[in-house]
Amino acid sequence: MCRYVDEAIIGAPLELTKEMVESYKIKKVVVDKNKPVDPRAVQVAKELGILVEVDTTETLTTGEIVQRVVSRHADYLERQRKKLVC
């Protein structure tokens, strides 16, 4: 997950409802202002004043994410190896 995200709703319907906002206690709905968004998906968020549009410049690719995970795993294994030697 992302350090800025508390929870993601997998399989959420396209249209956000007021009941969903209340049930899940949604505080913010964030969209990238550089990518097209179906207006139905954000209508309720706009009406409730919880829609946040961000200007992302991140170009992170899936390959880069995988490389980070692999790299950090190797670092973790090395730290654990050093602890066992001491």
Q: 29 - beta bridge partners? A: 51
pLDDT tens digits, 29-46: 988 888 888 998 899 999
Q: What is the pTM assigned to this prediction?
A: 0.58
pLDDT tens digits, 62-81: 888 888 888 888 888 988 98
Q: What is the mean pLDDT of the chain?
A: 86
37: left (phi over 0), alpha (psi -120 to 50) or beta: beta
